[in-house]
Amino acid sequence: MIKKLLYRALGFPKWQGPKGNTPPQRPKETHPLSANIDRNKQDLQQVFDHCADIVYRDIRINVNKPIKAFLVYAEHLIDSKVGNESILRALMSVSPEISIANAEIAEVINERLLTVMETKTTSDLLDLVNQVLKGGVALVLEGSSTAIICMVEGGPERAITEPTVEPGVRGPRDAFVEDYKTNLALIRRRLCSSRLKVEIFELGEITKTEVAIVYLKGIANDKIVEEVRKRISRIKIDVVQGGNVVEELIQDEPFSLFPLVQWTERPDKAASFLAEGRVDIIVNHSPLALIVPITFVTMLQAAEDYYNEAAFTTFIRLLRVAAVNITLLLPAIVVAVVSFHQELLPDKLFNTIATVRQGLPFPIFLEILFVELTFELLREAGIRLPRAIGQAISIVGGLVIGQAAVDAGFIGPLAVVTVSLTAIASFAIPNYSAGTALRILRLFLIVMSALLGGIGIGLGLMFILYYLNGLRSFGVPYLAPLAPWVPGDWKDTFVRVPWWAMLTRPRLWGAKEPVRQDLDQGARKPDEGESQQ
């Protein structure tokens, strides 16, 4: 229903999309290459009309009878060094002894002359065009209706750097980059198994973005893999700008406040998710891998958890649970207690608060709302600004506004303290997307508690509980393993047990091969171990 309304609001008379506004359905065209080289060149020049970065290079291959040929490629999409070495030199310095019959020109050149790792042949002009645009060098030969495409992609690319969004102390230091092949390599390097399967789809009428589904066969649930495959192949869109487009098109709920797809920039995290039986989705030009299915507790896990000691991690995880609760509830509770349930405070605390709040012009609800909004503004401004100016913002925002507003008596220190604590707690949640969801719900709860006090918070929480319980990520209940109750999966949620106790894979999404490792590999003292043997 909301979908319908939204489509209405956007000006579509019917939400199914009216006839005039459907995207053009282009049939898959084909245009065979001809054996006449000049004709082919003309055709290509017509297709690449006004494309200044497309280069044509005429050459002559000196075999027993010289063959006219030309190369066509996009200037900055190829590695010109490899192109020079392996294509031009290979073709131009052939000895004239090699004899080629007319029928098999393309085949012989491909098999004997070109020293390029990856080549393809095509007899379709439009396919050739696509390959050229993806960084191929096409070799069109006289007297052959088959062209050879040498994949020598290159050009500008970012080097692998340290993770910036999810940094760690003890873990590996590499992060995904924009190129999906590099990203696949980073995962493949970590999981040296032929069971790691990679399936590549091409999405986007214009962008032709490669989207790879990565999973471990025999560990990931086939149904989920099939579902991912189905949902991705259903996408018909013009432009895939980044991973987020795919994320929003494949998730279970049309309007979800909480992320139903996890993302990470760390290959180690992506790989470990695969080993748990989940599915990674890697979108070209996006430095983030998408992961499904996920649950709410995935939001509380950081990659660093698995490189630190189990006991310490458990402590940190409990701290994060507290952080979630503070982020969500603290301002609402303060509003409720100060304006509805003063009797809940111990006498001394009540006196303190009453003294502080004396002479303040606004009710606590407005104060907290004001400080909250100021903080959100600061955060937003801080993200957009260049780093150097960002510093100034934090000084103006934090010190000047905060201090001055309190000194002037507009707002009380209670509101400032509350919001600051909330802000700090919200930064302690590892998943950025979950943090944003909690921020919105926090405002909702503040309003509820201003209306009905503690009962309002309770009603709001029940609403959130119903909402969360209704969510699913690729069929997996969002609040699992809390509800439905799966005690076996608790070992990696609020606690993190040592590795020797991580005996089974999570059961929620029906990972096959549930047992991960041998029983009883725990640490033991040397003499005990010997006596047991």
Residues forming the site for another protein (CB under 8 A): 340-341, 343-344, 346, 452-455, 458-459, 461-463, 465-467, 469-470, 477, 479, 482-485
| CA-closest candidate to residue 91, choices 130, 42, 33, 140 | 140
Q: Kindly tell me the burial class for residue 130, based on how many C-beta atoms sit within 10 Å of its own C-beta (0-12, 13-18, 19 or more).
A: middle
Q: Which of 244, 267, 40 is nearest to 172 (CA)?
A: 267
The alpha carbon dihedral of 185, 186, 189, 194 has a sign of negative
DSSP codes of every residue in 250-271:
HSS-SS-SS-SSEEES-HHHHH
Residue 466 Cβ vs another protein, minimum distance, rounded to whole Å: 4
Count the Cβ atoms, other than its own, within 10 Å of residue 521: 12
- Which CB atom, from 135 or from 477, has the smaller least distance to another protein? 477
Cβ distance to another protein smaller for residue 49 or 347: 347
Is residue 449 within 8 A of residue 335, CB to CB? The reply is yes
> What is Dmax (Cα atoms) for the chain?
104
Tokens of 24: 């053009």
Cβ proximity to another protein, 136 vs 331, nearer residue: 331
How far apart CA 239 and CA 249 sit, in angstroms, is 12
Q: Which is nearer to another protein, 116 or 353 (CB)?
A: 353
Taking the least distance from each CB to another protein, the nearer of 417 and 455 is 455
- For residue 36, the Cα-to-chain-centroid distance in whole angstroms is 47
Please state the closest distance from residue 325 (CB atom) to another protein, in A: 12
User: Three-class SS of residue 215?
Assistant: strand
How far, CA to CA in Å, does 242 sit from each of 195, 302, 342, 440, 441?
A: 27, 23, 50, 24, 27
Closer residue to another protein, CB minimum distance, 183 or 473: 473
Contacts of 424 (CB under 8 A, 6+ apart): none
For residue 249, give Cα distances in angstroms to 4, 240, 255, 294: 17, 10, 11, 16
Angle between helices 222-233 and 243-250 (to 10 degrees): 110
Q: Please, how many CA atoms are within 13 Å of residue 362, restricted to the half-sphere of its CB?
A: 18
- Min dist CB 277 to another protein, Å, is 19
CB of 471 to another protein, least distance (A): 9
| Residue with smaller CB distance to another protein, 105 or 335 | 335
- Residue (of 417, 421, 466, 416) closest to 441 by Cα position: 466
Least CB distance from residue 459 to another protein, whole Å?
6
Q: 121 or 469, CB closer to another protein? A: 469
For another protein, the closer CB: 167 or 454: 454
Looking at the Cβ atoms of 191 and 455, the one nearer to another protein is: 455
Q: How far is the CB of 336 from another protein (least distance, A)?
A: 10
CB of 465 to another protein, least distance (A): 5
CB of 462 to another protein, least distance (A): 5
Stretch (H or E) spanning 289: strand 289-292
| Angular region, 520: left φ>0, alpha ψ -120 to 50, beta rest | left
